[in-house]
């Protein structure tokens, strides 16, 4: 298991849930909910820098069959913009099927209405990150797929670079 703090991110249309793990990679905990829109990537970059983050894990929504629909396309675009903003810290996309459902179920009896919606994104980020941590611990491999960042080499041509 690699040592280092990781951030888990659950990007939604209105809010972005953020979680972090301890340096040993054992336990994910909620951090905050970032309002989607102007300044959201700047805030995520601030969190990455403040935590001296090893990597960021972004939940990729897939259907139960594993197919990717419009939500996955939007998430991939978001992850690409985030990766460009926080490079050289790597961004990984991991399967997040049913994480919001799990988070809602965990909070159903504890909080009501708007208060629950504000927290459910953080809990979903915790579920995403904890799953990624557990997967790495079980397999010995970093989970998901790395988002590549296009960089310009000295000749001015675009090249793809993967940050691991």
pLDDT band at 163 (very low <50, low <70, confident <90, very high): very low
Q: Which pLDDT tens digit goes with each residue over 66-103?
A: 788 899 999 999 999 999 999 999 999 998 865 555 55
Q: Which pLDDT tens digit goes with each residue over 117-151?
A: 668 889 889 999 999 999 999 999 999 999 999 75
pLDDT for res 162: 42
Task: Please state the pTM of the whole predicted model.
Answer: 0.82
Would you give the DSSP letter of residue 118? H
pLDDT for res 58: 98
Share of the chain above pLDDT 90, in %: 64
Which of 113 and 1 is assigned the larger pLDDT? 1
Would you give the DSSP letter of residue 147? P
CA distance 76 to 78: 5
Mean pLDDT across the chain, nearest whole number?
85
pLDDT for res 157: 43
pLDDT band at 65 (very low <50, low <70, confident <90, very high): confident
CA distance 133 to 28: 8
What order of strands is seen across the sheet that includes strand 28-35? 28-35, 15-21, 6-11, 55-60, 91-95, 145-146
What domains does the chain contain, in order, with CATH numbers?
6-161 (3.30.420.140)
Strands (E), the chain: 6-11, 15-21, 28-35, 55-60, 91-95, 145-146, 149-152, 158-161
pLDDT for res 107: 56
Peptide bond into 88 cis (omega under 30): yes
């Amino acid at each position: 298991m690699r040592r280092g703090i990781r951030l888990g991110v659950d990007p939604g249309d209105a809010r972005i849930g953020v979680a972090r793990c301890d340096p040993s990679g054992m336990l994910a905990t909620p951090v905050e909910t970032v309002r989607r829109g102007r300044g959201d990537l700047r805030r995520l970059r601030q969190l990455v820098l403040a935590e001296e983050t090893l990597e960021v894990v972004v939940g990729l929504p897939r259907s139960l069959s594993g197919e990717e629909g419009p939500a996955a396309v939007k998430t991939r675009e978001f992850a690409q913009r985030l990766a460009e903003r926080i490079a050289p810290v790597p961004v990984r996309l991991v399967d997040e099927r049913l994480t919001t459902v799990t988070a809602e179920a965990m909070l159903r009896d504890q909080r009501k209405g708007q208060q629950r919606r504000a927290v459910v994104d953080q809990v979903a980020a915790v579920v995403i990150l904890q799953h990624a941590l557990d997967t790495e611990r079980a397999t010995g491999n970093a989970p998901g797929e790395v988002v590549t960042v296009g960089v310009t080499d000295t000749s001015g041509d675009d090249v793809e670079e993967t940050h691991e």
